[in-house]
C-alpha cells in the first residue's frame, strides 16, 4: 500500500506494477500517484467527513462502513476512512475492500508491514476503537509475554552490573549459536534499545537509562553460550542506583514480525557513480549503534517527502567485489553500502539523489528470509539477477567464494537491458579470472548491434542452457532477484526444468 509511482509510469511489466509477494498492482488513473495523494492530504480538505473531530468507534459502527463510498478500516486500534484513498491504492480498491468495516491489521501486516500508514493516512483518521481490536498494538505486550516462542523457559533474560566507569548489561539468550547479526543495539540520548533475534522471535531490552552515557558502546558476544554483553561508558563516574525506567516494550519476547521497525539516522558519507543511472551510497551508522546486515537481507530507508514519511527497501552490498575483504573499512560494521538506481520519475530515488554528503537518512533494522546455511550445503550455486536485483548477490557471492568450501560451481546469470546498465562488470570479470569456480554470463534484452554476447529475456531455453547440475545428483541452490515478474517467471521455468521449491530462493520484501 501507498508506495505509489507517478501515473505516467511504470511500464506495464515493471516491478512497480506488481507488488511483492505476487499481488498484482492495478493501473492507477491519471493524477493518482503517491505525490498526488500527498498533495490532497495537504490541501486542508476534510478527508474523514468528521470536520476534524476524532471519535471512539465501536465494532458495530465500524462494520457499518463497509462500502467503497463509505469505507472504514481499523489498523492496530486506529480507524481510518479510506474512501478518499481508494483510487490511490496501488493494490487496487478490491484489496482495500477486503478489510472494509473490519480490523485490517493482519492483512496489512502480511502485505506491507513496513509502510508507514500512520503518516500516509493521518488525515483519514476517524478515531480509536472503543473496544480493543483482535490484533494487539505493536510493542504494547505485557512484560515478558511470550508470543511465538515454544516454551517460557526459552525466553531470554537480562542482568546488569557496574564499575566506576562502565555499565554492563548481560543478556542470556538461551540460544547456542549467537552471532553479531542477531544483536541490534541503539543508544540515543539516554534511551537504550537492545534487540536479540532468536529464530523468528525477538527479545527486547528497552530502557530510559538512569544517567547519561557516552556515545560509543561495545557489544561482546559469547557465541557458544549465547551470552551478549552491552557495555556502556558512563558520562559521569557516579554510582547508578538502578539501570533505568523500563519502556513499554521492555523485556518482551514476541514474533519478529510483530516488532515495529526501528530507525536510526545515518550520515551520508559518499555517493559514487556505478553506471549512468546507478550510484553507490555509503552511509555511516551512529557510534551508538551496533548493527550488521545479514547476507541477502535488506533495510528500509525512510525520508520525509513533502511532509510525508516514505519508506523503501534496499539491499546492502559491499564497497567492491574482491576475494580479499580484510581491509578494516569493509568489515568495520560502521558503514552500510547501498547500490541504488536513480529513476528519472522515481519519488524516493530522486529525493535520495538530492541528498548532500553529510546529510542524514533514517535506516531500519534488517529484514529478510535468506539463511547462509542454504549455501553451506550446496555444491552448485546459480544466481539469476536482473538490473539492481544484483544487489543481494554481492554479499552472497563473496560469502560463497570465500567461506563455502563444498561449492564446485558458482554461476551468475545477469540480465540487463544494455551493456551500459551492467553493474560492476569489470569487477565480475576480474573475479571470474581469479576464482575458477566462478563464471558470469551477461544477457542483454536491448543490446546494440555490436553486442556479441547472449541476447534475450529470462526464458526456459536460456535457463536450461545455463543452469545445470555439475553432477547428476549434486545439491543445487538457485537464487533469483529482479523485477517481480522476472522472479516469478524464473521460478516457473525452473520448476518446469525439474528444480524443486527447496532448491530455489527468491529475494522479495
Contact residues toward ligand NAP (CB under 6 A) are 13-15, 298, 315, 341, 386-389, 391-392, 415-417, 421, 445-446, 457-458, 481-483, 485-486, 489, 507-509
Query: Which of 312, 395, 411, 505 lies at the binding interface for ligand FAD (CB under 6 A)?
Result: 312
Q: How far apart are CA 505 and CA 509, in angstroms?
A: 13
Among 83, 365, 391, 416, interactor with ligand FAD by CB under 6 A: 391
Q: Can you give the C-alpha Rg of the chain in angstroms?
A: 24
With CB atoms as reference, the residue minimizing the distance to ligand NAP is: 387
CB-nearer residue toward ligand NAP: 156 or 389: 389
Q: Is 423 in the site for ligand FAD (CB under 6 A)?
A: no
The three three-digit cell numbers of residue 53, written as one number:
473531530
Q: Which is nearer to ligand NAP, 71 or 458 (CB)?
A: 458
- Nearer to ligand NAP by Cβ, of 203 and 415: the residue is 415
The smaller minimum CB distance to ligand FAD, of residues 263 and 314, is found at 314
CA 4 to CA 17: how far, in whole Å?
10
CA-based torsion, 351, 352, 358, 364: positive or negative: positive
Task: Give me 429's grid cell.
Answer: 570479470
The least distance separating ligand NAP from the CB of residue 409, rounded to whole angstroms, comes to 23
C-alpha cell at 423: 553493474
Q: Using CA atoms, how far apart are residues 139 and 366, in angstroms rounded to an integer? A: 18
Considering CB distances under 5 to 8 angstroms, the limit depending on partner class, which of ligand NAP, ligand FAD, none binds residue 346? ligand FAD
Among ligand NAP, ligand FAD, none, the one that 490 touches (CB under a kind-dependent 5 to 8 A) is: none
Q: Which of 385, 415, 401, 374 is nearest to 505 (CA)?
A: 374
- Cβ at position 429, least distance to ligand NAP in Å: 19
Residue 15, interface with ligand FAD (CB under 6 A)?
A: yes
Window of 4-12, 45-53, 175-183, 463-471 that interacts with ligand FAD by CB under 6 A: 4-12
Q: CB under 5 to 8 A by kind: which of ligand FAD, ligand NAP, none does 6 bind?
A: ligand FAD
Task: Based on the shown chain and the rule CB under 6 A, indicate whether residue 489 belongs to the binding site for ligand FAD.
Answer: no
C-alpha cell at 341: 538506481
286 part of the interface to ligand FAD, by CB under 6 A: no
Q: Which does 9 bind (CB under 5 to 8 A by kind): ligand FAD, ligand NAP, none?
A: ligand FAD
Strands (E), 130-277: 157-162, 166-172, 183-188, 191-198, 201-209, 213-222, 227-234, 244-246, 253-255, 263-273
Q: How far is the CB of 277 from ligand NAP (least distance, A)?
A: 9
Cβ neighbours of residue 172 closer than 8 Å, sequence gap 6 or more: 156, 157, 158, 159, 226, 227
502 burial via Cβ count (<10 Å: 0-12, 13-18, 19+): exposed
Rounded Cα gap, residues 247 and 100, in angstroms: 34
Residue 57 main-chain phi, psi, to 5 deg: -110, 125
Confirm or reject binding of residue 347 to ligand FAD (CB under 6 A).
yes
7 part of the interface to ligand FAD, by CB under 6 A: no
313 belongs to the binding site for ligand FAD (CB under 6 A)? yes
Residue 232 dihedral angles phi and psi, to the nearest 5°: -110, 145
Positions that interact with ligand FAD (CB under 6 A): 3, 5-6, 9-11, 14-16, 20, 298, 312-315, 338-341, 343-349, 388, 391, 483, 509
Amino acid at each position: 500500500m501507498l508506495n505509489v509511482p507517478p501515473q505516467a509510469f511504470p511500464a506495464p511489466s515493471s516491478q512497480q506494477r506488481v507488488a511483492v509477494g505476487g499481488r498484482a498492482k492495478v493501473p492507477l488513473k491519471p493524477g493518482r500517484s503517491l505525490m498526488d495523494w500527498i498533495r490532497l492530504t495537504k490541501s486542508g480538505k476534510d478527508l474523514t467527513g468528521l470536520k476534524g473531530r476524532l471519535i471512539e468507534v465501536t465494532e458495530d459502527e465500524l462494520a457499518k462502513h463497509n462500502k467503497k463510498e463509505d469505507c472504514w478500516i481499523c489498523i492496530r486500534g486506529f480507524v481510518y476512512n479510506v474512501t478518499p484513498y481508494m483510487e490511490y491504492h496501488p493494490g487496487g480498491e478490491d484489496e482495500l475492500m477486503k478489510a472494509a468495516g473490519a480490523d485490517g491489521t493482519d492483512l496489512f501486516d502480511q502485505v506491507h508491514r513496513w509502510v508507514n500508514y500512520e503518516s500516509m493516512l493521518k488525515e483519514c483518521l476517524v478515531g480509536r476503537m472503543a473496544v480493543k481490536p483482535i490484533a494487539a498494538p505493536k510493542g504494547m505486550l505485557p512484560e515478558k509475554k511470550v508470543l511465538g516462542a515454544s516454551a517460557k523457559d526459552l525466553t531470554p533474560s537480562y542482568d546488569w552490573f557496574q564499575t566506576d566507569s562502565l555499565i554492563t548489561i548481560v543478556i542470556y539468550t538461551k540460544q547456542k549459536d549467537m552471532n553479531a547479526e542477531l544483536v541490534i543495539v541503539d543508544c540515543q540520548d539516554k534511551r537504550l534499545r537492545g534487540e536479540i533475534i532468536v529464530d523468528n522471535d525477538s527479545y527486547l531490552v528497552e530502557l530510559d537509562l538512569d544517567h547519561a552515557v557516552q556515545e560509543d558502546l561495545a557489544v561482546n558476544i559469547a557465541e557458544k553460550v549465547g551470552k551478549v554483553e552491552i557495555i556502556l561508558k558512563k558520562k559521569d563516574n557516579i554510582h547508578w542506583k538502578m539501570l533505568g525506567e523500563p519502556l513499554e516494550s521492555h523485556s518482551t519476547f514476541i514474533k519478529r514480525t510483530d516488532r515495529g521497525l526501528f530507525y536510526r539516522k545515518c550520515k551520508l558519507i559518499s555517493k559514487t557513480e556505478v553506471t549512468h543511472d546507478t550510484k553507490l551510497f555509503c552511509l555511516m551508522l551512529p557510534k551508538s549503534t551496533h548493527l550488521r546486515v545479514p547476507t541477502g537481507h535488506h533495510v528500509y530507508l525512510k525520508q520525509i517527502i513533502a511532509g510525508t514519511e516514505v519508506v523503501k527497501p534496499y539491499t546492502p552490498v559491499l564497497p567492491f567485489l574482491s576475494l580479499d575483504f580484510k581491509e578494516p573499512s569493509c568489515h568495520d560494521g560502521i558503514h552500510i553500502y547501498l547500490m541504488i538506481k536513480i529513476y528519472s520519475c522515481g519519488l524516493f530515488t530522486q529525493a535520495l539523489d538530492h541528498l548532500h554528503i553529510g546529510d542524514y537518512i533514517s535506516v531500519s533494522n534488517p529484514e529478510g528470509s535468506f539463511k547462509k546455511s542454504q549455501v553451506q550445503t550446496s555444491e552448485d550455486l546459480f544466481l539469476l539477477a536482473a538490473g539492481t536485483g544484483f544487489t543481494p548477490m554481492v554479499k552472497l557471492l563473496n560469502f560463497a567464494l570465500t567461506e563455502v568450501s563444498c561449492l564446485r560451481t558458482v554461476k551468475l546469470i545477469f540480465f540487463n537491458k544494455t551493456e551500459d546498465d551492467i553493474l560492476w562488470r569489470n569487477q565480475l570479470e576480474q573475479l571470474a579470472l581469479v576464482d575458477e569456480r566462478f563464471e558470469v554470463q551477461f544477457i542483454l534484452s536491448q543490446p546494440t548491434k555490436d553486442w556479441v554476447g547472449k541476447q534475450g529475456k529470462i526464458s526456459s531455453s536460456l535457463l536450461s542452457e545455463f543452469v545445470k547440475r555439475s553432477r547428476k545428483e549434486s545439491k543445487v541452490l538457485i537464487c533469483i532477484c529482479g523485477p517481480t515478474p522476472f522472479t516469478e517467471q524464473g521460478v516457473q521455468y525452473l520448476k518446469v526444468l525439474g528444480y524443486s521449491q527447496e532448491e530455489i530462493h527468491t529475494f522479495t520484501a
